[in-house]
Amino acid sequence: MLNVGIIGVTGYTGIELLRLLQSHTHIKVKSVFTASYAGQAIAEVYPHLQHQTSLQGEKLNLDEITQNCDLVFMALPHGHAIELIPPLLAAGKKIIDLGADFRLKNQSDYQHWYQHPAAPETLLQQAVYGLPEKGEKENIKNANLIANPGCYPTASILATLPALKADLIDPDDLVFDAKSGLSGAGRTLSLNTHYCEASENVYPYQIAGAHRHTPEIEQELSLIANKKIIIQFTPHLVPMTRGLLVTSYLKLKKLISKEEIYKIYKEIYHKEPFIRLCDHIPQVKHVKGSNFCDIGIQIDARTQRLIVVSVIDNLIKGAAGQAIQNMNLMYQFPENFGLNSNMVMYP
């Protein structure tokens, strides 16, 4: 039995992680830590977990973690994991960081985008970017530190990877139009996610290359293409709780059929348990509550563009579910353990 701990359990990502782990037969959640609700039963803070967990939130205690846990999930805002991780690694613990502190490999990039000192170079190079379908599974299996990808990068990279690998598209003309539910903004109160502001409203934010997920997408696509890539990325908030949709506009080098492109995507993804290639245009309701990424493709012959629509549940494949998928690979459990029982919730 694998003993795990969660630091930052009472944010939306942390509590979703705890919920999903309840159905994993190979792990036991030993300790959960929260700055906001220390001393309170988790089921009191989140009543939907009544009769599912008796855990109590605790103040952070690294000694307790080193004594009781083999693996630690960190679900903290950026900047908070950097100081916690070195002593845990030194104690022989494995770590999956669901925050942003280890996603960007370049220290100056992190400092520019997050306005916070970056992690030490040695740790950045040690961290493995945890997107299994990108071809990282062997690296994930051997890793001690996983940088769990962001939600927008997950959907954007998975939509683009096969076309980029097959050299079908112009890497200098990549446009991503993204929409996310409000849970992606976190649990902290803000004006933009206030009901009266968000209800019956859709609006872009952090546009013109200002969103922090932009360099993450560029970094990973650049590694795939083996050249520097600059993208156009525009995120929007939409009035739903969870779900994320990315429409990717990719300029084809030459016009080919939808059937040929579908075959290329299938060749790359046919062994991936959480990628579903669709013969229709997917919707966020098709993946809600699951770890699936649904992908649909269309060709616009007039503009010679490949249009790829990818959808995920931002809290699962975009965060907690992907973290569990990475854990399964690290410990050589079946990749879908703890995730297949969470079927799509519809409608």
pLDDT of res. 293: 98
CA dist 258 and 266 (Å) reads 12
Which range (155-164, 180-189, 237-246, 316-325) has the least confidence? Answer: 180-189
Read off the amino acid at residue 171. Answer: P
In tens, the pLDDT along 174-227 reads: 999 999 999 888 777 778 788 888 889 999 999 998 999 999 999 999 999 999
* Percent of the chain scoring above 70 in pLDDT: 99
Q: Is 196 a catalytic residue?
A: no
Task: Dump pLDDT digits (tens) for 14-68.
Answer: 999 999 999 999 999 999 999 999 999 999 999 999 999 999 999 999 999 999 9
Q: Which residue has the higher pLDDT, 345 or 189?
A: 345
Q: Alpha-carbon distance 143 to 126, whole Å?
A: 8
Q: Are 146 and 128 in contact (CB under 8 A)?
A: yes
* pTM for this prediction: 0.96
**CA atoms of 9 and 58, how far apart (whole Å):** 10
Options 151, 196, 278, 293, the catalytic residue: 151
Domains of the chain: 2-126 (3.40.50.720), 152-314 (3.30.360.10)
**What DSSP line would sit under 3-16, residue for residue?**
EEEEESTTSHHHHH
Q: Between the CA of residue 236 and those of 90, 209, 213, 303, what are the distances in Å?
A: 41, 13, 13, 24
- Could you report the per-residue pLDDT of 259-286, keeping only the tens digit for each? 999 999 999 999 999 999 999 999 999 9
